[in-house]
């Protein structure tokens, strides 16, 4: 979205839809929805709206249905509040950021546990052979002189 006009329009659409959702919809299925991002195509004809829903998987599915059903009303609201000849079509896309963050968090926790296990194993470990198995150059010279 290199077009500065598209960026401004995306910001305005995000604000308009967030305010409208804050007022509420008549659909009782709509949960606690947060608009995370809006991307508008370069020709300003289509807007992809990314959102997250706080709650269970069932509440997420119900909120997705409610947003899909209210798409026309929300597009009308956007058309009233932007200064553009054409109102872009709207597409609601669930944002995967929370799930990705939880996955990364679990991976970091697992890595920390493995590090702790490795550290505890290393604390009681002993060398398999000598502590320093490498022959030093001085030792070779001293060995030759003694022979």
Question: Is 113 a member of any domain?
Answer: no
Q: Tell whether 41 is covered by a domain.
A: yes
Total domains in the fold of the chain = 1
| pLDDT band per the 50, 70, 90 thresholds, residue 31 | confident
Q: Confirm whether 118 is domain-assigned.
A: no
Q: If you average pLDDT over residues 16-41, what whole number do you get?
A: 83
Among the listed residues 68, 6, 77, 76, the one whose alpha carbon sits nearest the alpha carbon of residue 42: 6
Which value, to the nearest 10 degrees, does the dihedral of the CA atoms of residues 10, 15, 18, 19 take?
-150
Residues 33, 21 contacting (CB under 8 angstroms): yes
pLDDT of residue 147: 57
Mean pLDDT, the chain, integer:
83
**Residue span of the structural domain in which 18 resides:** 4-97
Is residue 11's pLDDT more than 60? yes
- The domain that holds 54 is classified in CATH as 3.30.300.20
- What is the per-residue pLDDT across 109-144, written as a single tens digit (0 to 9) for each? 999 999 988 888 888 777 777 777 776 777 555 556
Pairing of strands 89-94, 46-54: parallel
Residue 102 maps to a domain: no
In a domain, 139, yes or no: no
Q: What is the predicted pLDDT for the residue at 143?
A: 54
143 part of a folded domain: no
Q: Between residues 14 and 98, which one has the greater pLDDT?
A: 14
- In this structure, is residue 72 part of a structural domain? yes
Task: Confirm whether 104 is domain-assigned.
Answer: no
- Predicted confidence band of residue 47 (pLDDT cuts 50, 70, 90): very high
């Amino acid at each position: 979205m290199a077009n500065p006009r598209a960026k401004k329009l995306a910001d305005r659409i995000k604000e308009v839809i967030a305010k409208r959702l804050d007022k509420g919809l008549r659909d009782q299925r709509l949960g606690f929805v947060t608009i995370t991002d809006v991307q508008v195509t370069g020709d300003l004809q289509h807007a992809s709206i990314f959102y997250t829903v706080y709650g269970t998987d069932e509440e997420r599915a119900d909120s997705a249905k409610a947003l899909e059903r209210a798409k026309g009303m929300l597009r009308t609201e956007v058309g009233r509040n932007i200064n553009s000849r054409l109102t872009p079509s709207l597409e609601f896309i669930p944002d995967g950021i929370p799930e990705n963050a939880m996955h990364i968090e679990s991976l970091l926790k697992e890595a920390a546990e493995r590090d702790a296990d490795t550290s505890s194993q290393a604390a009681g470990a002993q060398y398999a052979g000598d502590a320093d198995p490498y022959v030093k150059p001085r030792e070779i010279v001293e060995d030759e002189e003694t022979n």
